[in-house]
Structure 1
Amino acid sequence: MTNDAPSDWLSLPELVEVTGEPLGRVRRMLDERQLVASRRFGAPRVPALFLVDGSPLSSLRGTVIVLQDAGFSDDELIDWLLAPEESIGVAPIESLRAGRKSEVRRVAQSLA
């Protein structure tokens, strides 16, 4: 993945600001897999696309769990969600944001 623009990734303090939630709640969102962070930039950062109107994308958690069950690390599943997926025609995160979670999860399950 070459999507390294800092504006596309939110640090934990930025997540606190965007979500309006205290840091403890933001950390709980990460622990509960409502959001997924990468440490490839040092401190944990979350792709901004994983949020909609200041809240975690509702269909993200179940998709993350499917990918984890398939053996994906956090960085690998973030990369898969953000990269164009040939069988879907767009990046999986775009399909999730468009409300097409069944299609994304079907492809994710086939990766196991």
Structure 2
Amino acid sequence: MTGENEAPAQIEWLTLAEVADATGETPGRVRRMLDDRQLVGSTRAGGFRVPAAFLVDGAPLGSLRGTLFVLHDIGFTDDEAIDWLFAPEDSIGIAPLEALRAGRKSEVRRVARTLA
């Protein structure tokens, strides 16, 4: 796991302007996506940034929102949620984000609930 203020090295980060460009949305709409937990970001990467892997085909990964709600409901901070999503998870066999991108949201959320 990374240090409290250290961003995981393997993550490609996007600024809000880059997220807006990638999604074709306005910066205001991107902020609304963050407020609605469709996306989550961190300031650890030098200014507020969002992991690029949270976008698929120019939109937020659909299964991310519900998973973020589960993680936040059990007490994870945004940084902790990002770290968990990118870290290999033995019970899943891959990083939770990879499993979400492969359509395995129920399995990821079931494992997340056991972390409480």
- Please tell me the TM-score bracket, short chain as reference: over 0.9
Per the TM alignment, residue 44 of structure 1 is displaced from its structure 2 partner at its CA by 1.1
Per the TM alignment, residue 5 of structure 1 is displaced from its structure 2 partner at its CA by 5.6
Q: Scaled by the length of structure 1, what TM-score is found? A: 0.94
**2:86 maps to 1:45:** no
> Equivalent of 1:81, from 76, 81, 85?
85
Per the TM alignment, residue 18 of structure 1 is displaced from its structure 2 partner at its CA by 0.4
Higher helix share: 1
Distance 1:20 1:82, change over 3 A: same
Mapped to 1, the partners of 2:97 and 2:10 lie a distance apart of: 17
User: Where do 5+ consecutive residues of structure 1 fail to align?
Assistant: none
Per the TM alignment, residue 74 of structure 1 is displaced from its structure 2 partner at its CA by 0.2
- The answer to which of 34-43 and 71-80 deviates more is 34-43
User: Where do 5+ consecutive residues of structure 2 fail to align?
Assistant: none
Q: Percent identity among equivalent residues? A: 67
- Once the two structures are superposed, residues 55-93 of structure 1 have per-residue CA deviations (whole angstroms, 9 ceiling, x without a partner) of 000000000000001100000000000111011000000
Q: Which runs of 4+ in 1 moved over 4 A?
A: none
Distance 1:17 1:95, change over 3 A: same
Residues 72 and 81 in structure 2, CA contact (< 8 A), matched pair in contact too: yes
